Amino acid sequence: MREAHPTDEWMMKSNFKDDVCYKQPKNLDERVVIANDFIKRYKYPVPFGIDDMSNAAEGAYSAWPERLYVIDERGHIAYRGGMGPFNYDPKELRGWLAARYGEVQHPDAKPAGTQPGGAKPGDAQPGPGTPLGTAPKS
């Protein structure tokens, strides 16, 4: 989706501090570069998709600048988070998921406290930056 705080629009002090300085992408290639930089820096373990320059996904889900959704097994909106930044609440989503589906334990994750730093996000996950469109292995 559109960058929220690119250097050529509304750049924040935190962009300098965190070294996240990019211009608003003018084409898909620039957007893909930024997405890959993000994946690499944070070793992001969750499957990832990039909105094309029509911003179709952003528009369909009114998602800018950040938002959380859950689509249930029947393809319906089951959870719709508040609009970011002030109403973007991952803890609320985590609580909602736990209430609806129960607490999830990843099969390979060790319980927190049994290894230095405890269980880390990304343990027992698909490889970093696994494309969302990758077909699951049978």
- Say how many residues touch other proteins, by CB under 8 A: 64
**DSSP H or E run through 95:** helix 90-101
Interface stretch with other proteins, choices 55-63, 106-114, 117-125 (CB under 8 A): 55-63
Cis peptide before 65 (omega within 30 of 0): yes
Instruction: Find residue 131's DSSP bridge partners.
Output: 48
The amino acid present at 70, given as its one-letter code, is V
Interface with other proteins includes 45 (CB under 8 A)?
Answer: no
Rg (CA), the chain: 17
Q: Is 98 in the site for other proteins (CB under 8 A)?
A: no
Q: Which residues of the shown chain bind other proteins in the complex (CB under 8 A)?
A: 1-6, 9-12, 15, 20-22, 28-29, 32, 34-39, 46-52, 56-58, 60-80, 83-84, 93, 97, 101, 129, 131-134
